[in-house]
Structure 1
Amino acid sequence: MLIATSANGHVVKRPSKPAIGTMLANLRRGNEHMVLERQEEDREGDWYIQVLFRDNNTYQLEYRDGVPAEHYQTQTVSQEKVHTALIGWATGKPDWREGFMWNNIGDMFTPEA
């Protein structure tokens, strides 16, 4: 099941494309965020995409593919590109990552050996 959560804790189960767009458009500058999370009984790990609207008018977009080592981040000034990525991720489109330079930041979330 897809779950969308806003910075103030508002939760929408199975959000529609318009609901996702509204949540993104309602982000206020200053480190406000939203998360789309995929929760399925037969899928282990954390599967989500999140966006943070920073003070400098940039969107910090991150996603995790199951495990901390597979956590990626990028930034953009384009709300439209973020919206396209969120909808693409939510609907399982294989090309949703295109148009961004992704950095693997998984080492920030994995313990040192």
Structure 2
Amino acid sequence: MTGPVVRAREASGQAWDDPSETTLYDALADMNLTWRFVIVERLDLEPAGQHYMQVYLNDDLSYQVEYREGGEDRHFQAHVPAQPVVIGVDPVARVVADWAAGRQGWRDALPWEPWP
């Protein structure tokens, strides 16, 4: 039997192996000014610990989204402004779910810039 491919972890310490899209959405929607981040890691890629996407909730309820694909030169960030309540975390959740599933198109969904 093989191990999990994706692991998600929220700031509270709660973690899920191979989370469903619904679980990812719920973890992101549950972020608040006390529990500000969610990290989703690909466990099937090398080097280990260097393939992840993380979302941080800023004080103004905007999102800082980062992804890394290996070394420091493959680390990127995007800012997602605070969304109306009716939209909520949807734009961020779609990108995270697509990335975690290895689907195409997530790179075009946000204005990525190299991490400083």
Q: Which whole-Å CA distance do the structure 1 matches of 2:26 and 2:111 have between them?
A: 25
The unaligned stretches of length 5 or more in structure 2 are: 84-88
Deviation >3 Å, runs of 4+: none
Match of 2:105 in 1: 95
Structure-1 separation of matches of 2:110 and 2:22:
23
TM-score with structure 1 setting the length: 0.85
1:76 equivalent to 2:86? Answer no
> How big is the alpha-carbon RMSD for the aligned residues of Structure 1 and Structure 2?
1.6
Deviation at 1:39, TM superposition (A): 0.8
Change (3 A) 1:30 1:59: farther
Rounded to whole Å, the distance in 2 between the matches of 1:38 and 1:86 is 11
Q: Does 1:29 align with 2:33?
A: yes
Aligned residues: 105
Q: Deviations over 1:23-48 (max 9, x none)?
A: 001000367000000112x6224100
- Report the Cα offset of residue 99 of structure 1: 2.8
TM (norm. structure 2) is: 0.83
Any idea what SS the aligned residue of 1:12 has?
Answer: strand
Percent identity over the alignment?
27
Residue 7 of structure 1 and its aligned partner are, at CA, apart by 0.5
Note the C-alpha offset of 1:16.
Answer: 0.8
Q: Which structure 1 residue ranges, 5 or more long, are not aligned?
A: 109-113
